[in-house]
Structure 1
Amino acid sequence: MIGLHSLREKMPVFQEEACEFALFKAKWPNGYRCPRCDGAAFYLVASRRKSLYECRVCHHQTSLTAGTIMEGTRTPLVKWFSALYLMQTGISATLLAEVIQVTYKTAWLINHKLRHAIQVCDESRPLKGDLQLYGDFYARPVMSGVFDPPDQRDQPAVVGASIDPESGEVAEVKIKRVPPNEFRRRLFGVDSFGTFLWRHVTDAKSEIQSIEIVKQSDSEGVTELGLIWRGVIGWLARTFGGIGPKHLQAYLDEYCFRINARPNSFEMLLSLCGLTQTVTLGDLVNKKKAVRSVRWSGLANYRQHKNAFQVS
């Protein structure tokens, strides 16, 4: 595990003014637009706490963080940008709190707000083309003081990937929890993937070329989806000591984001932060253990549209 001193040595030095400029570009990639009248001209109004942007047409004032994932924050932008940088490899809230010198609660909230921005984007990008699916179960390591009820110990999940037709390599990947009552251990038939197909694969038949169900390993060794699954399991264990069911999906989406966004994960995450509405601490803490991807009866919907999927 990377130590605190080592992390601080490798961290770039962010300047508040440069961070403000970068967030401005992320929030308004095509130039300032008034959130009320869509005007393009503004005055910069300085105040004791933060600068405000006043529309020259309707005189509406807005702050740089309003309408972004950082809205309402009291944490300096340089610390947010440090967290963005560290999310390129993944970091626990405990270590992040030490690195950027904030409370654990603030570090936890920053991390989960960044994951929320990732999840909002992920929901809008269904897989398409040539697909591969792999199913397995995630079990949090048994640790002192941690007890998961029997029905929450093994969390079924599906690794799904769009495959580049030219190289045959993974172009985009998603890892999603699925309902335990729809996913049968070792009997990975197509119906076990119904929820995943319904929620995370485009419903346009013309955009689905083929779907293949793969195993973790074959005669030639570990498959690429098997390596991705082993990678996320190892990362969760090393960095967090395992994750419980309540927030597991957010961590899975974070891991996939780094794969999909490489090598520009910092720039892409900053862009998502500038375009994503914030989420409150209450919304995150009170999140139901059943994640969004299992709230619908995915299998029933999949069966109604089964002719859209041809699985090998």
Structure 2
Amino acid sequence: MTDYPKSLPEFQQRFPDDEACASWLFDLRWPNGFECPGCGHDKCWTLSCRSWTYECKGCRRQTSIRAGTLMHASNLPLTIWFWAAYLMATHSNGFSAVQLQKQLGLGSYRTAWLLLGKLRAAMIDPDRNPLSGLVEVDETSIRQRTGNGPVGVGRSHEGKLMIAGAVEIKGQGAKTHPGRLRLAVIADYTSETLHDFVATEIATGSSIKTDGLASYNNAPNMDHDRNVVGDQLAHLVLPWIHRVFSNFKAWALGVYHGLRAKHLQSYLDEFVFRFNRRRYRHAGLKTLLNLVTKRQPMTYKMLIGAEQSA
């Protein structure tokens, strides 16, 4: 399959219509040729009576290019899906549902919100590798957006959303730079919660660097570089994760005017997806659409339910 488009003009030339989008999706979904999701047979007929639908020569099951993916039962043209994925993957700040509705001429805010929600659901690869090597780990909180605007001031966690973060550190000395990032919603700053975050997101045998919070002590299967902040500024001890937190908070306020608890993890996932592809944004389009084809279908009620249970 040809490589991903590396510019907006190339994107427009590559995907002028639904037919071009369907052809690209076919190669993403079946890179080795058609494989029936029912019986695994590799031969099919292309049906002329249904757009981009294939009938297995083995079991006669019919499968459309959208079936069994996040695009399942969607009435939106494939070009709209591709434009939304392109904007989400390549734009440095992403788009709110209001912005996307205006940019793509969508009929309703709900349609734009559902489209973005499904794309965010695809931004986490279930097979991704954990962070490794030297990793800065810290936690922060952000003000929670409510109907009356952001709340929560001072050091109390009341009215705030708590987040744990970890970022790989590459290079040495004054030439260090951040590698991959992980962010997750947490309920508290206890040892049980933070140890679980470390164990989930960081490979066994890695070295974690923290600000000395006692909750990180004895993190299982990790070398722990404990740096008690004391009178030092925390961003001097853990510069890269603090820069990530600062950028995330500015992004959340600038694009979404604050975040609510029930949506927080999906927005964290969006930020992480874009951060981890900051040096090759256009490649993110191929990654995102590939993950869209691998995720199970989600309805509006399912997406709302997932958010409400978060």
TM-score of the superposed pair, with normalisation by structure 2:
0.77
Contact 2:130/2:202 (8 A) holds in 1: yes
- Aligned CA distance change for structure 1 residues 287 and 123 (closer, same or farther; 3 Å): farther
Query: Match for 1:110 among 111, 115, 118?
Result: 115
Query: Which residue of the partner structure matches residue 144 of structure 2?
Result: 140
Counterpart CA distance in 2 for 1:147 and 1:229 is: 17
1:224 and 2:224 equivalent? no
Q: What is the percent sequence identity of the aligned residues? A: 27
Contact 1:42/1:53 (8 A) holds in 2: yes
Aligned length: 268
Contact 1:132/1:161 (8 A) holds in 2: yes
Counterpart CA distance in 2 for 1:10 and 1:18 is: 13
Letter in 1 for 2:184: K
Query: Which residue of the partner structure matches residue 80 of structure 1?
Result: 81
Letter in 1 for 2:103: V
Contact 1:27/1:274 (8 A) holds in 2: yes
TM-score of the superposed pair, with normalisation by structure 1:
0.77
| SS state at 1:118 partner | coil
Query: Which residue of the partner structure matches residue 132 of structure 2?
Result: 128
RMSD of aligned Cα (Å): 2.8
1:164 and 2:170 equivalent? yes
| SS state at 2:168 partner | strand
Contact 1:70/1:273 (8 A) holds in 2: yes
Contact 2:136/2:240 (8 A) holds in 1: no
- Aligned CA distance change for structure 1 residues 35 and 110 (closer, same or farther; 3 Å): same
Contact 2:144/2:159 (8 A) holds in 1: yes
Structure 2, unpaired ranges of 5+: 1-7, 212-232
- Aligned CA distance change for structure 1 residues 38 and 77 (closer, same or farther; 3 Å): same
Counterpart CA distance in 2 for 1:76 and 1:107 is: 13
| Stretch moving more, 167-176 or 35-44 | 167-176
| SS state at 2:167 partner | strand
- Aligned CA distance change for structure 1 residues 108 and 161 (closer, same or farther; 3 Å): same
Query: Match for 1:261 among 255, 277, 282?
Result: 277
| SS state at 2:23 partner | helix
| SS state at 1:250 partner | helix
Query: Which residue of the partner structure matches residue 37 of structure 1?
Result: 39
Contact 2:165/2:241 (8 A) holds in 1: yes
